[in-house]
Structure 1
């Protein structure tokens, strides 16, 4: 059973159901870095037929490469990256949701940027592109999130048919998160939350005699909450489903565990009239 929230602090009642959905989906994402079935992300073992001979100061990962065991090397590195990126995203999202309850929406919009604008790209590139690991390991100037808008669209398109939730469309994900031409994309909204003035993008330009988010009125705060809770549940569901696809494949997990997660999710949505 998941913990049930009873104190919503300053969050208006009209957003309680959506907030509970966000918390539940985040609980399921947290399972990837805390629950027993996914322990293979946190600790890896390597078995050898005979005693190995490491060169002076040689790391076991370097040994694997030297002895033509690159597949095992890549498996370990992939697990390490996924575990770290998922844990990092959870930390940002935990505080973002709590900040929303506290009516600190500048903090919320600032914090949800990294999990979706940046960490999501690392996850997608790691799983969907063939050269990510090689560049990550060998190129000291490699930018894990430095790709074009066209490449972002291609990555999102590649995930659409993998999703269980067919209502989640790649075009919507791009518009909601990355589209620089839309003033309410997450990249633009979080830019406003992070910077007192935004002047480079005409679609995100700070109004005259204004400082981004600082002069929020009661009505504008309600608008920000409405925006947050219309989009964040969908983004968390997408992240959850994508990680399930990638991790169950990477860790070769039993399908029964996947069914248990789906059943828990379906029961939650049914009981809370959420989607």
Structure 2
């Protein structure tokens, strides 16, 4: 059975010389327990993805951006994937905090990553930008390459003022398509893998941005590779292919080389 599946995967990959019906796989960091399996699955399918990085706790007692995981990120960069920020501390936006004049230069967040207890705190626009840039600095230190000019707010929660603050320091937000919510952070009991796979294969269309994680602490039945493997094979059979966000028409201009100043 496994040999047959691998043969189907190879056939599907060979049948996709051009990516003319792309979907855009994206992964936010998590406990990293399934990260090696996800990387192997992407490689088998010749699928490019985009990863959004935060410094989160891992199952091995470290963090997603520590020296233990640096080689893993370096390998993914060498494979041609894309990378963006997910805030350094995994700050989930809660509210704008306008000043007496109605200007918004401060925000309230719930800082919550993995098994760490949540903490509610305030950050200025400058501090939020520093959080995004810190991810880029660490990514470059690990891989020797620059981070992409994109970010994803944890839980996808933003405001117009927060997006403006991020744009001011070079980061454009990337959400996900409605059908692209792959459900790996939902309860296994209420949303079993078979149900998530069926929904994704039914609803995903060309151009959709898909979102999953590199491991969710609360999910008892891991989503990857149980769903990821047949999802990639099934979408490829429908003629879809897997591209990084630098090829998305909305984000491609952000990745284009800027002309050098005379």
| Pair in the same fold by TM > 0.5 | no
| Richer in helix (by share) | 1
| Richer in strand (by share) | 2
